[in-house]
Amino acid sequence: MRVGYVRVSTAEQNPARQVELMKSLGVEKVFLDKISGKNTDRPQFNEMLSFLREGDTLYVESFSRLSRSTRDLLGTVSVLSGRGVQLVSDKEKVDTNTPQGRFMLTVFAALSELERENILERQREGIEIAKAEGKYKGRKPIAVTDRFLGAARSWQEGSLPLKDAIEQSGLSESTFFRKCKQQGIRRVGV
C-alpha cells in the first residue's frame, strides 16, 4: 500500500502543497500532523507507524517532514526497514531500498538537524539582542486577582478543598502554590 505522511510545524501553516503531492504520487492513505518535527511525539506520526505493514511504501515530501533530528530520523528508518517498509522522499529523490539511498538519508538527516539547530541559535541571539536593547522583557507575571485571593483564603481557612480552590482561582496548581507563597497564604495545621 502507498502511505503518505504530511507534516507542517504549526496549526497556521497550510499542508495543501504536500497533500497535492501525495495525490500525484498515487498515495492511498495520508497521515497529517500540524506539530513540530523536533521529536517523534506526534499523534498521526505514531498512528502511521502502527498502520504500516510489510510491503508498504511510505512517501514523504522531504525527510524534514519525518524528523528534524538525525537520531529520530535514523530510528524511524530503522523501524520501517525492520518491518519491510520502503521509504521514498520526493524532494531528495531517495529510495531506502538502495545502499545509495540509505547513505543519502544519513547525509540529509544530518543537514536537517543542523538547520534546526541554526534556527534555534538565531532565535536565542535575537532574544539576547532584544533584551540588551530593552525590547524583550520576557513573559509578563501573572497578576494576583480578587478571584485568586478569595479562593486561596477559603482554602487557607479550611472552608474550601484544595482542588476546588485551585479550580476557582483559574490558575494552574503550580501557579496557585507559587502565588500563595508570595502572598504568605498557607493552610494552618497542614
Residue 3 CB coordination number (10 Å): 20
Count structural domains, the chain.
2
pTM: 0.56
d(C-alpha 34, C-alpha 13), whole Å: 8
d(C-alpha 185, C-alpha 73), whole Å: 49
pLDDT tens for each residue of 134-187: 888 777 888 899 999 999 999 999 999 999 999 999 999 999 999 999 999 988
Q: Are residues 164 and 94 in the same domain?
A: no
pLDDT tens for each residue of 7-53: 999 888 999 999 999 999 999 999 999 998 888 899 999 999 999 99
Let me know: does 105 contact 88? Beta carbons within 8 Å. Answer: no
Range of the domain at 160: 146-183
Cβ contacts of 143 within 8 Å, gap of 6 or more: none
For strand 57-60 and strand 29-34, is the pairing parallel, antiparallel, or unpaired? unpaired
Query: Which of 62-66, 114-118, 123-127, 182-186 is predicted least confidently?
Result: 114-118
Instruction: Report, as residue numbers or ranges, the catalytic residues.
Output: 9
Helix (H, G, I), strand (E, B) or coil at 188: coil
Q: Are residues 8 and 81 in the same domain?
A: yes
Residue 135 lies in a domain: no
